Amino acid sequence: MSTSLNQQEQQWLSRIDEWVAQHRQELLDDLTAWVRIPSVSRADQAADGAPFGPTCAQVLDLALNRARELGFRTETHQGYAGSIIYGDHPQEIGLASHLDVVPEGENWVYPPFDVTRKGEFLIGRGVADNKGPAVVDLYLLRLIRDLGIPLSHNLRVIYGLAEETGMEDLSWYARNAPVPAISIVTDGRFPVNYAQKGQLTLTLNVPVGEQLANLSAGIAGNSVPERAGLLLTGVDQKTTDERLSRLAGLAQGRIRTTPKDDGLWVEAQGIAGHAAFPEGTLSAVRVLFSALLEARLLKDLDRQAALFFEQALASPYGDEIGIAFEDRPSGKLTFNAGIWRPHPHERALQVSLDIRYPVTQNAQSLLAALEHHLLPHGIRLLTWKDAPPFYIEEDDPRVQILQQSYQAIRAGDEAPYAMGGATHSKVLPRGITFGPGYARTEKRIPDFLPAGHGYPHGADESLHLPSLLSVFPIYVLAIIRLDRWLRQNPQ
């Protein structure tokens, strides 16, 4: 394979831009219809044929119905996933994405479950993660069929419905449904992702006193909390409000108070973002604890818990709790406390942790290190679940085919990368994450949004439309070359 194009590849690719321009509005209409369904994965609302709740079943039905309208075969895998198939060959190349989204959260400027068009940007929950790429997968099948590009393998689009909540969707699929010879997972950025950190999710029991017992924060374990609030009871509201208005530290300008009949409501504002990419985020829980400590409003167990977590949350890399691991292939561990809720039966908080650990580490060593730091503070580990790391050698021929296909379209020196984000590559055998986001773009986030907005998992999630539409030549070339390689190297 090569970073240069042969004559046949040039002929096929020369027709793509015109096709994309002709189908641009249809693609936008489909994406808008999909975003309007608030498809948050809810296993607690499972029903027959809908293991992840009614809205996930609804969006899958919509997507598969659209595929059938376009003339493709579809399969519904007991509601765990859905497939769209083009071709009539014994082996397949997959395109995997997901139709579930994280909850909308708060503080949106624009409607979360609609697509708002502002210049070159689209805004709405899921436009980037992952409904925009999912629509591209469908349109790739359509493009390849319409242009008559010959392949020796079927193309199978696989839509998951629980990527954001543990990936039981494609875990089930891998055990029970046809697994392609190789799959491109369209849920990352270019060029090729060769390593994903392990993901350890835990629930802690944190003993607290009277004031912290009603604290609530966060919408998802893999999102940095944007808001945190609690009701302070048994305090002089005027004096307490005055103390909180004079903050000079981390919480300055980030605290809002509201008098209530039974106390003073205190709410902290953070900066939301994805737990695996914590740069630029700020946990609202840390802000709240910092404010309460600076204003001297806590004592005994409340003060102990706030001191511990205010310090622990100061670093998203686990420096303060003995788990600051790092390696060359995958970089630093990341640590996030994403959901905080009152314990239903004890004076305690239940806290959900999301830890993305380097590929050379393991869950057992992390658990031992955590318990060493948590137990002296009376903090107990209630539950834990491990998703081991994903790793494929950088010189693997499949990685090289994808890398060279990318470089043939977009000249540059970007190398295969590791990340803390978890995709379906972890559970779908022979699945490799490849795009569709770009690491280097001047227009990643619109400048008309407030600071901290516009990112996946945050308020006003956004997508640069020209960047999304520019991926078609990259994927078409990659599919052509993978098809050729698989023909020469049957799996």
What CATH number did the domain enclosing 217 receive? Answer: 3.30.70.360
For 277-421, strand residue ranges (E) read 326-327, 331-332, 334-342, 348-357, 380-387, 390-391, 417-419
Question: pLDDT value at position 33?
Answer: 99
Q: Pick the closest to residue 94 from 189, 164, 160, 192 (CA basis).
A: 160
pTM for this predicted structure: 0.81
Residues 363 and 427 in one domain: no
Question: pLDDT value at position 439?
Answer: 75
For 397-448, strand residue ranges (E) read 417-419, 431-433, 436-437
Residues 307 and 413 in one domain: no
The verdict on residue 176 lying in a domain is yes
Question: pLDDT value at position 239?
Answer: 94
Residues 84 and 110 in one domain: yes
CB atoms within 10 A of CB 260: 12
- Report the chain's C-alpha Rg in angstroms: 24
List the CATH number of the domain containing 108.
3.40.630.10
- CA dist 122 and 372 (Å) reads 46
HSE (side-chain half, CA atoms, 13 Å) at 229? 13
Residues 37 and 101 in one domain: yes
The verdict on residue 1 lying in a domain is no
Query: Which three-class secondary structure state does DSSP give residue 129?
Result: coil
Question: pLDDT value at position 442?
Answer: 46
Q: Identify the domain boundary among 338, 357, 387.
A: 387
In tens digits, what is the pLDDT along the chain, a chain of 491 residues? 567 899 999 999 999 999 999 999 999 999 999 999 999 999 999 999 999 999 999 999 999 999 999 999 999 999 999 999 999 999 999 999 999 999 998 899 999 999 999 999 999 999 999 999 999 999 999 999 999 999 999 999 999 999 999 899 999 999 999 999 999 999 999 999 999 999 999 999 999 999 999 999 999 898 999 999 999 999 999 999 999 999 999 999 999 999 999 999 999 999 998 888 899 999 999 999 999 999 999 999 999 999 999 999 999 999 999 999 999 889 999 999 999 999 999 999 999 999 999 999 999 999 999 999 999 999 999 999 998 999 999 999 999 999 999 999 998 889 999 988 889 999 999 999 999 998 765 457 898 999 889 999 889 999 999 999 999 999 999 999 999 999 999 87
The verdict on residue 378 lying in a domain is yes
53's CB contacts (< 8 A; 6+ apart) are 40, 41, 42, 43, 44, 45, 46, 47
- Bridge-based pairing of strands 182-185 and 154-160 is unpaired
The verdict on residue 275 lying in a domain is yes
Residues 77 and 218 in one domain: no
Estimate the share of the chain in helix, then strand, then coil, as percent rounded to the nearest 5.
35, 25, 40
Q: Identify the domain boundary among 387, 422, 454.
A: 387
Question: pLDDT value at position 444?
Answer: 73
Residues 417 and 321 in one domain: no
Residues 169 and 82 in one domain: yes
Residues 363 and 234 in one domain: yes
The verdict on residue 428 lying in a domain is yes
Residues 339 and 467 in one domain: no
441's CB contacts (< 8 A; 6+ apart) are 464, 467
Residues 433 and 301 in one domain: no
Residues 22 and 98 in one domain: yes
What's the structural domain count of the chain?
2
The verdict on residue 288 lying in a domain is yes
- CA dist 294 and 383 (Å) reads 32
Question: pLDDT value at position 441?
Answer: 53
Domain that holds residue 321: 198-387
Q: Identify the domain boundary among 387, 407, 439.
A: 387
* Whether the Cβ atoms of residue 363 and residue 198 lie closer than 8 Å to each other: yes
The verdict on residue 2 lying in a domain is no
Residues 376 and 410 in one domain: no
The verdict on residue 206 lying in a domain is yes
